Amino acid sequence: MYLFDRVGVPIGKCSTINLDKKLLVQAHRYILRHCDKLEDFRREFLDEEKSKLCHSTNLTSFFSEKLIDEHFPNWLEQKV
């Protein structure tokens, strides 16, 4: 079973693009924050993080984004 469907066809000329480390991190963060198929995982991760913080009911948007940037990738890797 795959998380993402294997569909699509290449468009245009095939070329290799090398991203520097900063752009690669930014692209990775963007995908982890915005991919619809990861929404349930993001919600589960944030719920677990809330429970660790003395049952705080609300995480600020800034703090949630910071948690996703810093800890969600490792959590997701362990989960999947």
Average pLDDT over residues 52-64: 76
- How many CB atoms are closer than 10 A to CB 63? 14
Question: Does a structural domain hold residue 80?
Answer: yes
Domain residues for the domain of 49 are 39-80
Question: Does a structural domain hold residue 14?
Answer: no
Rounded Cα gap, residues 32 and 25, in angstroms: 11
Comparing 4-8, 44-48, 57-61, the range with the smallest average pLDDT is 4-8
User: From the CA atom positions of the chain, what is the Rg in Å?
Assistant: 16
Number of domains the chain is built from: 1
SS3 48: helix
Whether the predicted pLDDT of 6 surpasses 70: no
Res 74: pLDDT: 94
Rounded Cα gap, residues 19 and 29, in angstroms: 14
Question: Does a structural domain hold residue 22?
Answer: no
Question: Does a structural domain hold residue 55?
Answer: yes
